[in-house]
Copies of this chain bind each other. A is one copy, B any other.
Amino acid sequence: MIKRTKGVTISQVADAAGVARSSVSRAFTRPDMLSPETVTRIMKAAEALGYVPNHTARALSTGRHGNVGLIVPDIANPFFPPLIQAAQLEADRSDFCIFLGNTEENPKQEDKLVGRFAGQVEGLVLASSRLSDERIRAHAGLLPLVLINRDIDGIPRVLIDSGSGVREAVEHLAQLGHRRIVYVSGPSNSWSNKQRRTAIKAAATRLGIVVETVPAVLASYNSGRQAVGAILATGATAAVAFDDLTAQGVLAGLSEKRVSVPGDFSLIGCDDVLGAVTYPALTSVSNRSTEAGRVAVSLLLDMLQSRAIRDVRYVLETHLVVRNTTTAAR
């Protein structure tokens, strides 16, 4: 059976070192206020007793617990893990811990999580929030908030501009001689989907090529797979998909129909989450989710330190990553 050691308190250390509690506290937080000898004496005593400052007590009196929250709609979506990882790394650099929340795409759950976190974190990062603008504003009134991929005036935000990458994608296809392309769209209520479709249309118009939209119905992979019939029916020679998973579905669907990629058809994904593991390796638009996570946390920590809210709008441009699913039109 394992016995659990009860915590050593600051008073015990103080007694052992023959000083007041406040001196022990200062030895840990502001050693410059004490004489070097006292500090070493206290440290030695603390060491001997195995003293570790109580995080909760410290948080109570200082109001800073050294935690920030990060809320994402779906951990299982490959877009988020790199973002989470980067956020954690950045927080770590300043000795902050990350509280992670997963909302399952559910605004109710998101609201609940924000409330639950509010008391234990100094600030919050909301990634691709599903909440209404009003709710977000309300929360922002209670604690420092940074948004990722959500554009609300007055609240610091980090936006990934897939438009720039998508534009490059269309230019790339145009250069290869494709005159008729398809956009395989994603969820209609998605901010990113709108952004991407708009960018494609604009670029295509400018370059004088035709673009048709094939809507997605099911979840991304299957949606892409099922869309292949409609895609081929348009007579297009290339497609840009809403995201990599959709693209992967299209790839499978084309393979089933014996349409070779890139020989007979060129395909481009978005978000580059597959890390080139498809065959052939998918040409895609980079996602910058890593930077987004890092920047968001860094912004948040800045706010915490300066106790001020600046109206920051940090935009991350994306680019086309050319691999093996695009080639010249026949």
Residue A229 CB within 8 A of the other chain:
no
- CB of B279 within 8 A of CB of A255, answer yes
- B-binding segment of A35-43, A73-81, A125-133, A181-189: A73-81
A76-93 vs B, Cβ < 8 Å mask (1 yes, 0 no): 101001101100100000
A309 cross-chain contacts in B, Cβ below 8 A: 1-2
Interface residues of A in 1-57 (CB under 8 A from B): 1-5, 52-57
Contact present for B88 and A82 (CB under 8 Å): no
Residue of B nearest to A277 (CB): B221
* Interface positions of A from 184 to 198, Cβ below 8 Å from B: none
Whether the Cβ atoms of B102 and A88 lie closer than 8 Å is yes
Cβ contact within 8 Å between B2 and A140? yes
- Complex CA gap A73/B116 in Å reads 26
Docked-complex contact B116 and A97, CB < 8 angstroms: yes
Contact across chains for B120 and A55 when beta carbons are under 8 A apart: yes
The chain B residue with its CB closest to the CB of A276 is B221
Residue of chain B at shortest CB distance from A220: B277
Binds B, one of A59-67, A200-208, A262-270, A312-320: A59-67
Name the CB-closest residue of B to A281: B252
Bound-state CA distance A76–B97 (Å) is 18
A154, closest chain B residue (CB): B2
Question: Would you give the shortest CB distance from A156 to chain B, in whole angstroms?
Answer: 11
Give residues 66-119 of A contacting B (CB, 8 Å).
67, 75-76, 78, 81-82, 84-85, 88, 97-102, 104, 116-119
A141 close to B (CB within 8 Å): yes
The interface residues of chain B lying within 8 Å CB-to-CB of A140 are 2
CB distance from A292 to the nearest CB of B (A): 15
Q: How far is the CB of A66 from chain B (nearest CB, A)?
A: 9
Q: Which of A85, A277, A309 has the most CB of B within 10 A?
A: A277
Contact stretch, chosen from A159-167, A210-218, A234-242, A243-251: A243-251
Contacts of A116 in B (CB 8 A): 97
A56 in contact with B52 given A142-B5, A252-B279, A279-B255 (CB within 8 Å):
no
Q: Which residue on chain B has the smallest CB distance to residue A78?
A: B78
CB contacts (< 8 Å) of A249 on chain B: these are: 277
A84 x B102 contact (CB < 8 A): yes
Whether A256 is near chain B, meaning CB under 8 Å from some CB there, is: yes
Q: Does A232 contact B (CB under 8 A)?
A: no
Cα of A81 to Cα of B72 in the assembled complex, Å:
12
The complex places the Cα of A52 from the Cα of B120 at a distance, in Å, of 12
For this complex, 29 residue pairs linking A to B, each with C-beta atoms less than 8 Å apart, are A1-B309, A4-B141, A5-B141, A52-B119, A56-B56, A56-B119, A56-B120, A57-B60, A65-B120, A67-B120, A75-B75, A75-B81, A76-B82, A84-B100, A84-B102, A85-B102, A85-B104, A88-B100, A88-B101, A97-B101, A98-B99, A99-B100, A221-B277, A245-B277, A248-B277, A249-B277, A252-B277, A252-B279, A256-B279
A residues contacting B by CB (< 8 A) are 1-5, 52-57, 59-60, 65, 67, 75-76, 78, 81-82, 84-85, 88, 97-102, 104, 116-120, 140-143, 154, 221, 245, 248-249, 251-252, 255-256, 275, 277-279, 309
